[in-house]
Amino acid sequence: MIRKFLPYLHVNSIYEIDIDALKKAGVKGIITDLDNTLVGAKEALATPELIEWLKQLEQAGFKVVIVSNNNHARVSTFAKPLNLPYLPNARKPANLAFKKALQMTKLKPSEIVVIGDQLLTDVFGGNRLGLNTILVKPVSIHEDSFFTRINRRVEKIILSKLKKKGLMPWED
């Protein structure tokens, strides 16, 4: 069970993800969280750096879907200017939104990677469906919601258990 919380990869930021390595591994689609993964939770729009990163993904042929637990107004305000498909109110780690995102991309689970900043929602949710997962350090923990702060406390316990079992190959 604890292995369901272990991401395939851990990076400090989305900008550290090797797009070419993903392509070589057969990845064609990305399901990504929004808040504290792509931008801070209080940032309404994409930064110029993020826009450039998304352009690189598009040029490389990746399909991208934003899957967020945040509300429709927040997610649509962010995603529409970028012409990105999105699923708000996702209720991650529940399977439904991940399955809908898979349908939207028309890709196989082996061709998708989930990117997010939380073990309990993004990594656990993606791993439960057999998707590869990438855990990124949060853009800003100072902007976390009440429930996310609770999740982060639970994550510390899980990370401690992963570390004790020798499963956490990165330093936190």
What is the tens place of the pLDDT at every residue in 114-161?
A: 999 999 999 999 999 999 999 999 998 776 777 888 888 888 888 888
Strand partners, 35: 39
Nearest to 34 by CA among 84, 100, 104: 84
Distance of CA 7 to the CA centre of its chain: 11
Residue 134 is assigned to a structural domain of this protein: yes
Q: How far apart are CA 89 and CA 87, in angstroms?
A: 7
Tell me which amino acid residue 71 is: N
Strand partners, 10: 135
Q: Which 3 state secondary structure label does DSSP give 130?
A: coil
Nearest to 43 by CA among 118, 143, 115: 143
Q: How far apart are CA 22 and CA 167, in angstroms?
A: 22
Full residue range of the structural domain in which residue 41 is found: 2-164
Residue 51 is assigned to a structural domain of this protein: yes
Report the pLDDT value the prediction gives residue 152, as an integer from 0 to 100. Answer: 82
Strand partners, 133: 114
How confident is the model over 71-117, as pLDDT tens digits? 999 999 999 999 999 999 999 999 999 999 999 999 999 999 999 99
Report the pLDDT value the prediction gives residue 145, as an integer from 0 to 100. Answer: 76
With a CB cutoff of 8 Å and minimum separation 6, the contacts of 167 are 2, 3, 6
Report the pLDDT value the prediction gives residue 81, as an integer from 0 to 100. Answer: 97
pLDDT grade, residue 172 (50/70/90)?
low
Domain total of the chain: 1
Residue 59 is assigned to a structural domain of this protein: yes
Residue 96 is assigned to a structural domain of this protein: yes
Q: How far apart are CA 73 and CA 16, in angstroms?
A: 29
pLDDT at 49 over 70: yes
How confident is the model over 17-28, as pLDDT tens digits? 999 999 999 999
Residue 172 is assigned to a structural domain of this protein: no
Residue 44 is assigned to a structural domain of this protein: yes
Residue 169 is assigned to a structural domain of this protein: no
Q: What is the mean pLDDT of residues 40-67?
A: 96
Q: Could you give the angle at the alpha carbon of 135 between the alpha carbons of 5 and 143, nearest 5°? A: 110
Residue 170 is assigned to a structural domain of this protein: no
Q: CATH number for the domain including 128?
A: 3.40.50.1000
pLDDT grade, residue 171 (50/70/90)?
low
